[in-house]
Amino acid sequence: MKRSQIYYEQNKPAYSLVMLFLALNAYVALVTLNNMAIGFRLGIYVLLTIIISLVSFLIAVKLKLYKKTGMYMCGLLIAVQTIRLFFLPELPENGFLMSVLMVVSIISLILALLVTIKKDQVRNVYLDKKMAEYNG
């Protein structure tokens, strides 16, 4: 790959990792919802799941384009998902598996953030070097 392509290259690995998070989160939500009693807590859980899904898709797009706001939002989503892990409803079946899937989803977000930070640093060094050549 040419070094000049760094400027235009999209961050597909981070995008894919956030999409993995989205799929795992949706699966955990569906299994959890099937085992919850109808009530106020169920409504809050559904609302929170929808908001997290929409925000995570927005984060995926922003990370793909190396936006700093996407990196901050990803860090915030990691914190929210970690807190949410401790409030996962008790499930009679598959409780351990759902906890493991939540941890894997958090790890995928962390990896997406780290990949974006690393690729953004390499990209910025290249752009700074090119700007220095252009200016002087």
User: Does residue 21 have a pLDDT over 60?
Assistant: yes
- Delimit the domains of the chain by residue range: 11-135
Of 10, 106, 24, 21, give the one whose Cα is nearest residue 61: 10
Q: What is the pLDDT of residue 5?
A: 56
Record the pTM.
Answer: 0.84
Q: What is the pLDDT of residues 61-84, one digit of tens each?
A: 999 888 889 999 999 999 999 998
Q: What is the pLDDT of residues 27-74, one digit of tens each?
A: 998 888 887 788 888 888 889 999 999 999 999 999 988 888 999 999
Section 92-108 average pLDDT:
87
> In 3-state terms, the chain is what percent helix, strand and coil (to 5)?
80, 0, 20
